[in-house]
Structure 1
Amino acid sequence: MSREWTEGDLLPPEASALVGGPLGRRVAPRERSLPRLLPFVVLLVLLPMGSAFLRQGHCVVNGWNGNDQFWRGCFSDLPAQYQLAGLDRGVGGWLTGEIRLDQMPLLSGLMSAVGGLVPEAGWLDASRWYMALWTIIITLCLVAAVWCVGMLRPERLDLATQLALSPVHVVAALLSPDLVVVTLVMAAMLADTRRRPVLAGVLLGLALLGHAWVGIVAVALVVAARRVGHEAAAVRTVLVALGTAVGLAVVLALASPDIVTGPLRAWWGEKPGYGSVLLIPELAGHPLPARVAPLASVVGWGVAVWACVVMVGRAWRPATWAQVAAFAVPVVALTSPSVPVQAALWVLPLALLAGVSWRTHLGLVAVEAVHATALWLHIGAGADPDKGLPAQWYAVAVLGRAIAWGFLMWSVWYTPVDNPGPRPQARALPDDRPQEPVAV
């Protein structure tokens, strides 16, 4: 059979037309152009996000309270925080210190701002409003992230399609506002490819105020840029990012120091939590001593920086920023005091930009779905041990998840051969005739 699609194609010709593959010799070029196809791919995000909202159905009807939210798998930190932290006070309450959240300033501020938009109503209706508003915001963020991936890898539109249709959004997208941070990172990467280091730095700085793992993404930028001789622009981007993050943090600290110092204190005093391999000894009945979790996190950051250097130094082709970040972020996440279900949202877009296959993608999502189900059943076991998942079985789920993330890192290691860029010209045959396609 004659091979009619390239090595980079993930779909057969009859199916890949849906996402920009071969459409035939007589099709007008505009029909397979990026401006024509990318809007369609972006709209595909409505499918997983619609499913994610439908998954919240039981809690939308009955409220996010009690153990039913775990048995039904519709728990979300968003309505829970709205009810517990008094987010109806809005930005004013956040700036005065009346609202205290463990999230970093960007996310805590956004959660408070959205809470101030909720109309006055009973607790259930207010929670519904809050969840609906965040569903819209997160969907728009995912739209922007998919668009960024499509613009970053226009020759691999299947990668944007994978992100748009990923089942991981059904599992994790509505658990937290983390997709806001992910979108900022994707936008920073797009600005970097457009040679706009200041804009990239501002976006990256805002992301730094949202999640600590963005720090290793900044390190990955500098390390990856050194091999291709773009370190000056990369350093400028990181300096702008640090200036943006520190400047805004100082301003917020003047209004209420807890906004900035609260998340740091919470991290330093954190014990091993759900999803972390550090929790396994506790699940086995032998909890680790205090301070082990934050110290392990510090060591993990050192290992992640080393992983960036190794990835760039030993790759047989220059690794991109996304590829180095996709290799290092899992190290930071796995050594954190806790690895929440939504942590998959941090890693997957970077891994897709790195060019991992759809098999690796769906395999990771399957493991994430199993872990999320195991987590809700394990939490519910506190109220009903006969119905919930025992600690030993949850430990197995945590270990299996860590192994799956290790396999993802192994897959990312081999993706530098998939770097975008000019392809070498095929050598002419001795008689200078063009080469014919090879039949396989």
Structure 2
Amino acid sequence: MSNEPQPQARVAPTWTEPLAITASAAIGGPLGRHAMVGRSRFWTPLRVILLAAVLTMSLGWLVKAPCLQQYPGPTGRLVLDWQADRQYVAMCYTDIVTMPAEDRLTSHELPYQARWNDPTAPPGDQLRYMDYPVVTAYFLWAVAKSTMYYLSDLAGAGLPTGLPEVVFFDLVAACFAALWLVVVWTVRRQRPERPWDAVLVAISPLALLHVFTGTDALAVAASAGALYAFSRGRSVLAGVLLGLATGAKLYAVLLLLPLLLVGHRRGQLRPALHTAIAAGLTWFAVNAPFAVLFTPGWLEPFRNGIRGGPEPDSLFFALSYFTGWLGFDGPLPPGQAPVRLNLVALGLFAVCCVGIGVLARRAPRPPRVASLCFLVVAAALLLNKSWSPQFSLWLVPLAVLALPRWRLLLAWMTVDALVWVPRMYYYLGSDDKGLPPDPFLAVVLLRDAMVLLLAVLVIRSVLRPELDPVRALGADDPDWARPRRRAGPVPRAPAAAPEAARTSA
């Protein structure tokens, strides 16, 4: 009898998910008990989900479209129409449009080599470099060069054209939309028995608003690909992807901790170690040339992370605002790093990591990789000095893999996405009829409470595996490395008996 795990029966959402049951009323109710499922050759679940993701990305581009409008400037030359704070009033702000000018992507120098002075910074601290990790920096540089080539060599061939900032945004948006489809595909492939869970990634309000707000789609796609490769037993490939993800956004390195914890608990540490070693070597290979050639520029993202104070959407800022507390460091001069705050945030995160380790050790069964990945990334966000809106994309695939409860996850994603509205009007400023900090920080705290609730429910599913919706199907951990099948020798067919022997028999 084969020892291979038997495939699980697929879950019908209109039988198990209250939200899907309610929504199905508009199309005739839940799936019938005798319905013919899987008969369509073209409209498979994956293609339907990818179509939903394409529609979401299209709407996401339309959300940012007001910030791509233009008007004749003072010299008569067309410029971006960000007059009267359009980027905040229309809630279309995106970092991508500002990158070519702010990060000197159109210069003849490479990222980390190009430098400039910031006159608004304190004296002695005005020298600036590109503030993105290596993979992100050189991706943006390559797109900027492609934009210049398009406008100089291809626009005259009858192709549509526009301002350099607009063409740059459209090229980056096309790449990020494709990367988000990769995220959707990996989540769908990791849950063959629950294929429709991936629709939560495809239609997420956070994806609608923030895939084109910043550059985080790069790291999210590479991280999702790494977890999928690891689940298929390709631990070295998983490490390479995780190293690239860390080169795009440092949060991705945190995913190594769950792999090592689960591997230790299972007594199967080798795949996790292979992934960790491959990730470290990949990150080193990508970063080492620039760390040697352009050391001050390469260190810029690390310096800014250390010397930055608490951002308005962090717990530390909200605590300081509502209590009047001056913070761990008190008033600081411009450019001074909040040393105590850095140590406290790092210490609290270390305590959470120890707690996650104890959870992995004491759980009745080895916890699932996705559960611990969600917990460690959620802890990093909650205890970080900043939580930019696009950072929430880090949690979307992890939450769907760890806790596939549709109503709960869509409620969290909606609340998290709604932080964007008061944030934009808070940055508009009270002098321009913007919002005061109170409503904005209230929604931030509600968002944090929702993430904390998800973390509590994930912890409960680890401590009580019978409540885990994934393990309820009889699966152990579909995200752990499965042994790869190796082709063995093909047994020979028995030799045919001589004709005389067959006749006599």
How would you bin the TM-score normalised by the shorter chain? 0.7 to 0.9
Structure 2: how far apart are the matches of 1:222 and 1:156?
26
- Confirm whether residue 106 of structure 1 aligns to residue 157 of structure 2: no
Structure 2: how far apart are the matches of 1:43 and 1:395?
35
Q: Which amino acid aligns with 2:94?
A: S
- Confirm whether residue 53 of structure 1 aligns to residue 99 of structure 2: no
Q: 2:212 aligns with which of 174, 178, 183?
A: 174
Q: 2:144 aligns with which of 115, 119, 122?
A: 115
Residues 300 and 336, structure 1, Cα contact 8 Å, conserved in 2: no
CA separation of 1:60 and 1:13: change in aligned 2, threshold 3 A: closer
Identity value in percent: 22
Q: Which amino acid aligns with 2:114?
A: G
Displacement of 1:26 after TM fit? 7.0
- Confirm whether residue 94 of structure 1 aligns to residue 103 of structure 2: no
Displacement of 1:136 after TM fit? 0.5
Q: Which amino acid aligns with 1:272?
A: P
CA separation of 1:368 and 1:5: change in aligned 2, threshold 3 A: closer
Structure 2: how far apart are the matches of 1:184 and 1:381?
37
Q: 2:291 aligns with which of 253, 258, 262?
A: 253
1:433 aligns to what? none
**Deviations 1:264-307 (CA, angstroms, capped at 9, x unpaired):** 11111011113111112553554422324422331243033224
Structure 2: gaps (5+ residues): 1-11, 71-79, 117-128, 153-160, 330-337, 463-467, 476-505
1:408 aligns to what? 454
Name the larger-Rg structure: 2
Displacement of 1:421 after TM fit? 8.9
Displacement of 1:324 after TM fit? 0.5
TM-score when normalising by structure 1: 0.85
CA separation of 1:32 and 1:415: change in aligned 2, threshold 3 A: farther
2:383 aligns to what? 335
1:206 aligns to what? 244
Structure 2: how far apart are the matches of 1:32 and 1:411?
38
CA separation of 1:420 and 1:64: change in aligned 2, threshold 3 A: farther
1:73-222 superposed matches below 5 A: 73-89=91-107, 92-94=109-111, 96-98=113-115, 100-119=129-148, 120=151, 125-222=163-260
Structure 2: how far apart are the matches of 1:422 and 1:362?
22
Structure 1: how far apart are the matches of 2:245 and 2:228?
14
Residues 138 and 173, structure 1, Cα contact 8 Å, conserved in 2: yes
1:305-316 superposed matches below 5 A: 305-316=353-364
**Deviations 1:99-126 (CA, angstroms, capped at 9, x unpaired):** 82222222122122211211348x9711
Q: Which amino acid aligns with 1:42?
A: L
Q: Which amino acid aligns with 2:456?
A: W
TM-score when normalising by structure 2: 0.75
Residues 107 and 177, structure 1, Cα contact 8 Å, conserved in 2: yes
Residues 42 and 143, structure 1, Cα contact 8 Å, conserved in 2: yes
Structure 1: how far apart are the matches of 2:312 and 2:358?
30
Structure 1: how far apart are the matches of 2:252 and 2:318?
26
Structure 1: how far apart are the matches of 2:325 and 2:49?
49
Displacement of 1:194 after TM fit? 1.2
Q: Which amino acid aligns with 2:374?
A: A
1:55-70 superposed matches below 5 A: 55-62=63-70, 63=80, 65=82, 67-70=85-88
CA separation of 1:399 and 1:5: change in aligned 2, threshold 3 A: closer
1:431 aligns to what? none
SS in 2 for 1:87: coil
CA separation of 1:300 and 1:258: change in aligned 2, threshold 3 A: farther
Q: 1:27 aligns with which of 26, 36, 45?
A: 36
* Richer in helix (by share): 1
Q: CA RMSD in A?
A: 3.1
Structure 1: how far apart are the matches of 2:447 and 2:23?
35
1:435 aligns to what? none
Displacement of 1:177 after TM fit? 1.4
Report which stretch shifted further, 251-260 or 233-242: 251-260
Structure 2: how far apart are the matches of 1:154 and 1:377?
42
Structure 2: how far apart are the matches of 1:46 and 1:401?
27
Structure 1: how far apart are the matches of 2:378 and 2:185?
24
Structure 2: how far apart are the matches of 1:89 and 1:11?
51
Q: Which amino acid aligns with 1:410?
A: V
Structure 2: how far apart are the matches of 1:117 and 1:408?
42
Displacement of 1:310 after TM fit? 3.5
Q: Which amino acid aligns with 1:102?
A: D
Displacement of 1:366 after TM fit? 2.0
Structure 1: how far apart are the matches of 2:162 and 2:130?
21
Displacement of 1:15 after TM fit? 4.3
2:493 aligns to what? none
CA separation of 1:193 and 1:30: change in aligned 2, threshold 3 A: farther
Structure 2: how far apart are the matches of 1:338 and 1:4?
36
Residues 263 and 269, structure 2, Cα contact 8 Å, conserved in 1: yes
Equivalenced residue count is: 416
CA separation of 1:145 and 1:80: change in aligned 2, threshold 3 A: same
Structure 1: how far apart are the matches of 2:13 and 2:87?
49
**Deviations 1:62-116 (CA, angstroms, capped at 9, x unpaired):** 43745220111000011122221222237x5215334822222221221222112
Residues 312 and 318, structure 2, Cα contact 8 Å, conserved in 1: no
**Deviations 1:6-41 (CA, angstroms, capped at 9, x unpaired):** 65796349949x9xx9576573756499x9321221
